[in-house]
Structure 1
Amino acid sequence: MIPVTTFRSASVAVFGLGGSGLATCAALREGGARVIAWDDNPASVDKAAAAGHETADLRTIDWSGVAALVLAPGVPLTHPAPHWSVGLAHAHGVEVLGDIELFCRERRATAPASPFVAITGTNGKSTTTALVTHILAATGRDPQMGGNIGTAVLSLAPPATGRTHVVECSSFQIDLAPSLDPSVGICLNVTPDHLDRHGTLDLYAGVKERLVAGVPVGGTVVCGIDDRHTQAMADRAERAGRRVLRISIRNPVADGLCLDGPDILRVAAGAVVKRFSLAGCGALRGTHNAQNAMAAYAACEALGLSHEAIVAAMLTFPGLAHRMEQVGRLGKVLFVNDSKATNADSAEKALAAFSDIYWIAGGTPKEGGIAPLAAYFPRIAKSYLIGKSAEDFAVTLGSHPHVVAGTLDKAVAMAAADAAAGGAAHPVVLLSPACASYDQFPNFEVRGKAFRDLVLAMPGVEKV
C-alpha cells in the first residue's frame, strides 16, 4: 500500500467503492486523512463500512471542510453529464481527483526521482504495460505494475529509489490526474473510443495527450505516429523541449523505432543502430504487438537497460491472459485464446496474425458485426459460430465454410477435430469472438477460462 500522506489531517470524500475506491480509502486513512466514503450502490457502501471506513451520503455532508473529492474512474466527470457528486464538489470549490493523481502527489513528496512509466493509448496499453514490467523484472529491477490493468495503483509498494512504477492509464484516469508527470510517458495510438464520456474524438485525444505533455524536461516521451492525433502529440512534445522517441509500424522514423519487414529497427539521428526480431515470441505476434514491443523497448532503454538485455527479456514474455494467449498444442494444432476480442477491430489483430484458422466467433454482437473482417475470410479454413450472433454471422460469411455450433464446448470439439484432420502444416484453433460475452458468459475472462479449460481437458494436449 502507498499511504497518502499529502492529505494528512484533511477530510477527503471518496465516491465509487469498487476495488480502486476501497484501496483509495485505505491509503488515505493510512496516511492520516479522514475519509468519507459513498457509492450509488448500497452493497458497495455496506462493503466499505464492513472494512471500517466511515460512510455517509455525500449529499448530506458539510462540504466546507472537505479538501478533495476522489472519484472512481468509472464515474462520469464531464460527459454525458457530470455525476451529482462532481456537481456538489464544484459548487463548493472542492477539487476532483483520481487515485493516479494521489499517487503522483505522493511520489513527488516522498521519492521524486523514482522512475515512473505511464502508458496510454486506445489499443495495446495493457500488453505494453505488462511487457515493460516483465522486462524490468527479468533484468533484476523492482517493477510495480498497476492502474487500469487491474491492480489499484495505491495498493502497490510505495515509490522508492530503485523501484519503478509502471502504470496503465485510461482516459478516465488521466482526466482525474491534472498533475500527471511520468518520467517516461507513452501514448501508443488514438482511435475513436469512449466518445460518450468525452464528447468528441478531439476531446478524447486531448485527454490522452495530457499524459505525454506532463513528462518533465529531462524525461522521455514515447509516441506512436500512425494516426494524426499522435503525430501532432509527438510534434508538440518535441517543440516543448521533451526528448521524443517516435514509433511506427507504417513509416520510417528519424529517432525511435520502426519496421523493416519482419524486423524492428532502432533508429537514431536517421541511422539504424540496432535491429531485432520478435520471431521467437509467440505472445507478440502481429504488427499491433510490434508497436507494443517498440514502445516497451523505448521505455526500457530510457530507463537505462541495454539492447541485449531488453531483447532477451522480451523474447520470454508470456503474454496476457485472453489476448492472443497460446493455451496448448495437440499435435500440429495450436489453440489460441483471444477472448478479449469483443469487437471486430480487436478480432482483426488475431486474424491478421495467423493463417489456416479454425475460427470460433460469436456472442452478443457489436454494431457492424463481422462484416469489417471480410478481407480476412480467406485466411479462415472454417468458422464455428456460437451465441446470439451465430445466425447473423452465418449470413455474413455466406459461402465461406462455417457451422453454427451454438455453444463453446461444441465449437471447440468441432474445430479441434477439423484442424487435426486438415492438411495445413500449422493450423490454429482461434477463439476471437468479435462479440461481447454476455449472452452465455458473465464476461470475457470467464469465456476465455472456459475455452482454456476445454482445451486442456482434451487428451494429449500439451500446455504451452
Structure 2
Amino acid sequence: MIDLSTYIRSQDKKVFAVLGLGRSGLTAACALAQSGAEVWAWDDNIQGREKATDAGLKIVNLNDCDWEKVHSLVMSPGIPLTHPKPHPVAAAAKKNAVEIICEVELLYRACPHATFVGITGTNGKSTTTSLIAHILKTAGQKVAVGGNLGTPALELPDLDHEGVYVLEMSSYQLDLLEHLVFDISLFMNISPDHLDRHGDMQGYIKAKKHIFDRQTKSQTAIIGIDDEESRAVFDQINVESKIKTIPISGHIRLAEGVFVSQGHLTDDCFIPTNTTAEEIVDLNTIERLPGVHNHQNAAAAFATCRSLGLSNAEIISGMASFPGLAHRQELVMIKNGIRYINDSKATNADAAARALGSYDNIYWIAGGLAKEGGIEDLDPYFNRIRRAYLIGDCAKDFATQLDKAVSYELCETLDRAVKKAANDAAQDGYKDAVVLLSPACASWDQYRSFELRGDHFKQCVNEIVSPSGARNQHGSIAS
C-alpha cells in the first residue's frame, strides 16, 4: 500500500473525507489513515460502512459534517460528480471550496518523481494498458499497472524516478484529477458511452480530454485518429502546440506518426529526419493481437514504449510474448487447425463487431441479454460467419434478425453451442476456422458476469475439445 505520510505532513489540514467504500475507496481510506491523516469515511450503503468499521476507520456522515476541517474529498469515480445530478456530498464539498479528487491523484502526490503513463478511450484501453506494461516488464523496466484496470492505484508499489506507472483511466477518474500530469497520455478513440454521466457526447469528450491537462512540451500526447471525433481532438491539441503530439492509426497510412497498413506496424515518427518510414513488425504473425482494433492498440503501445526509450527489438519481443487479456479475444486453444476464441467481454454489438472483423470462417456463439438494437449493425460481417449458435434470453430474437443471411441453430446453453460448433468446424474442414464466443449481449440471464460466462466457455472447450475428448472417425466430438 502506498505511503502517503510525506504528503500528509506537508498539509495544514489533516482531515480527508472519503466517499464510497468499495475496494478502491476503502484502500484510499486505509492508506490515508495509516499515513497519519484523520479520515472521515462514508458510504451510502450500510455494507460499505460496516467494512470500514471492521478496518478500524472512523465513520462520519458526510451529508452533515464540518467542511471547514476537510482538506480533500476523495470520491469513488462511480459516484456522480455532475450528471445526472451531483451527489449531495459532492455538491457540499464544491460549495465549501473543498477539492474533489480520486485515489489516482493521491498516488501522484505520494510518488511525484515516477513516470506516469495514462491511457483512456472508449475501447481498447485495457488491452493497450496491459500491452504497454508487458512490453516494459519484458524489457526489464520497473513497472506498476492499475487504475481503472484491476489493482487500485494505492495498492500499487511505491516507485521512484526509475519507475513507470501505467494506468488505465476512465472518464470518471479523469474528472477527479487536480495536479496529476501524465508524462505520456494516450487518447485511443471515442464513441458514445456513459452519456448519462456526462450529459451528452461533448461532455463525454471533454471528460476524456482531461488526460491532457497540465501537459507541456516536455510531455507527449498520443492520439488515435481512426474515428472522426478523435481526429478532431488530435487536430485541436496539435494546433495548440502546447504538447508533443503523435498520431496513431490501426489502418490509415500516415505521413507522420505510427500506423498499421495491411497488418504491418510502421514507424514514421521516431526515425531520422528525411528517411523512409520503417516497417517494424507484421502484426499478422502475432496471434494475440488480431484485428484492426488491436492494430491500433499495438501502434499506441509502440509509440509509448519508443517515447520511453525502448528499442524496436525490445518492443517486438514484448508484443510477441504478450499473453492477451482474459475474455477479450482470448485464444483458449488451437486444435486440428481450429482456433477457440473467448470474447465474452463483447457485451454489445459494437464490441462483437471487432471480433467478427478479425476472423474468417467463423462458427459464432452469440446471445444472452441483448442491448438495444440487438445485432442489426453486424450485417456487414455476416459473410464471415459459417454458422451461428444462439443461446440465452435473446436467441429467438437474434434468429429473426439473422433470418436467411446466416445459417443458425438454437442451442439454449453454452455447453451445447460449443459442442455443436466444434463438431461443425471439424466436419466442414475450412482453413483457419474459428469457434468464437462473442455474445453481443450481457450475461445476466444465465451468468452473474461476463467473466463467469467466459470461464464456462473455456471449461467447455477444454472438456469437449481437449486431447482426451472422444472423437469419431470423422474427427467429430462424440455425443
Tell me the TM-score range normalised by the shorter chain. Answer: over 0.9
1: distance between equivalents of 2:466 and 2:105? 50
User: How many angstroms does 1:241 deviate by?
Assistant: 3.0
Match of 2:410 in 1: 404
How do 1:130-169 and structure 2 match up within 5 A?
A: 130-169=130-169
Match of 2:93 among 77, 89, 96: 89
2: distance between equivalents of 1:419 and 1:89? 59
2: distance between equivalents of 1:101 and 1:213? 13
Structure 2 residues without counterparts, runs of 5 or longer: 469-479
Aligned-CA RMSD value:
1.6
Moved more, 213-222 or 433-442: 213-222
How do 1:40-439 and structure 2 match up within 5 A?
A: 40-108=44-112, 111=113, 114-238=114-238, 239-268=240-269, 271-399=276-404, 400-439=406-445
Amino acid at match of 1:122: T
2: distance between equivalents of 1:2 and 1:318? 28
The secondary structure found in structure 2 opposite 1:166 is: strand
- Contact persistence 2:390–2:409 (CA under 8 A): yes
The secondary structure found in structure 1 opposite 2:298 is: helix
2: distance between equivalents of 1:431 and 1:302? 36
Match of 2:471 in 1: none
2: distance between equivalents of 1:120 and 1:414? 39
- Contact persistence 1:174–1:180 (CA under 8 A): no
The secondary structure found in structure 2 opposite 1:284 is: coil
Against the structure 1 CA distance between its residues 232 and 180, is the aligned structure 2 distance closer, same or farther, given a 3 Å change threshold?
Answer: farther
The secondary structure found in structure 2 opposite 1:429 is: strand
Amino acid at match of 1:21: G
Match of 1:450 in 2: 456
- Contact persistence 2:215–2:242 (CA under 8 A): no
User: How many angstroms does 1:92 deviate by?
Assistant: 2.3
User: How many angstroms does 1:257 deviate by?
Assistant: 0.9
- Contact persistence 1:11–1:35 (CA under 8 A): yes
User: How many angstroms does 1:158 deviate by?
Assistant: 1.4
1: distance between equivalents of 2:44 and 2:419? 44
User: How many angstroms does 1:461 deviate by?
Assistant: 4.4
Structure 1 residues without counterparts, runs of 5 or longer: none
- Contact persistence 1:121–1:190 (CA under 8 A): yes
Amino acid at match of 2:265: I
The secondary structure found in structure 1 opposite 2:28 is: helix
Against the structure 1 CA distance between its residues 439 and 152, is the aligned structure 2 distance closer, same or farther, given a 3 Å change threshold?
Answer: same
Amino acid at match of 2:125: K
User: How many angstroms does 1:419 deviate by?
Assistant: 1.2
- Contact persistence 2:251–2:292 (CA under 8 A): no
Aligned length: 458
1: distance between equivalents of 2:467 and 2:354? 25
User: How many angstroms does 1:85 deviate by?
Assistant: 1.3
Amino acid at match of 2:264: D
User: How many angstroms does 1:61 deviate by?
Assistant: 2.4
Against the structure 1 CA distance between its residues 461 and 173, is the aligned structure 2 distance closer, same or farther, given a 3 Å change threshold?
Answer: farther
TM-score (norm 1): 0.95
2: distance between equivalents of 1:344 and 1:310? 32
User: How many angstroms does 1:203 deviate by?
Assistant: 1.5
User: How many angstroms does 1:212 deviate by?
Assistant: 2.3
1: distance between equivalents of 2:136 and 2:251? 28
2: distance between equivalents of 1:445 and 1:460? 21
- Contact persistence 2:216–2:242 (CA under 8 A): no
- Contact persistence 1:181–1:216 (CA under 8 A): no
2: distance between equivalents of 1:392 and 1:237? 44
User: What whole-Å deviation, never above 9, does each CA across 1:309-360 have from its counterpart, x for those lacking one?
Assistant: 1012111111000000001133222110000000000000000111111111
User: What whole-Å deviation, never above 9, does each CA across 1:352-408 have from its counterpart, x for those lacking one?
Assistant: 111111111001100110110011111111111111110100001112210111111
2: distance between equivalents of 1:186 and 1:461? 43
Amino acid at match of 1:244: T
User: What whole-Å deviation, never above 9, does each CA across 1:402-437 have from its counterpart, x for those lacking one?
Assistant: 011111111111111111111212211100000000
- Contact persistence 1:141–1:163 (CA under 8 A): yes
TM-score (norm 2): 0.92
1: distance between equivalents of 2:151 and 2:85? 28
User: How many angstroms does 1:227 deviate by?
Assistant: 2.6
Moved more, 67-76 or 2-11: 2-11
Against the structure 1 CA distance between its residues 274 and 417, is the aligned structure 2 distance closer, same or farther, given a 3 Å change threshold?
Answer: closer
Amino acid at match of 1:414: K
Moved more, 3-12 or 259-268: 3-12
Against the structure 1 CA distance between its residues 78 and 331, is the aligned structure 2 distance closer, same or farther, given a 3 Å change threshold?
Answer: same
User: What whole-Å deviation, never above 9, does each CA across 1:273-323 have from its counterpart, x for those lacking one?
Assistant: 343211221110001000000000000001000011101211111100000
How do 1:32-47 and structure 2 match up within 5 A?
A: 32-47=36-51
Amino acid at match of 1:205: I
2: distance between equivalents of 1:49 and 1:182? 35
Match of 1:16 among 5, 20, 39: 20
User: How many angstroms does 1:457 deviate by?
Assistant: 1.8
User: How many angstroms does 1:262 deviate by?
Assistant: 2.1
Against the structure 1 CA distance between its residues 241 and 87, is the aligned structure 2 distance closer, same or farther, given a 3 Å change threshold?
Answer: closer
Against the structure 1 CA distance between its residues 241 and 91, is the aligned structure 2 distance closer, same or farther, given a 3 Å change threshold?
Answer: closer
- Percent identity over the alignment is 43
- Contact persistence 1:323–1:337 (CA under 8 A): yes
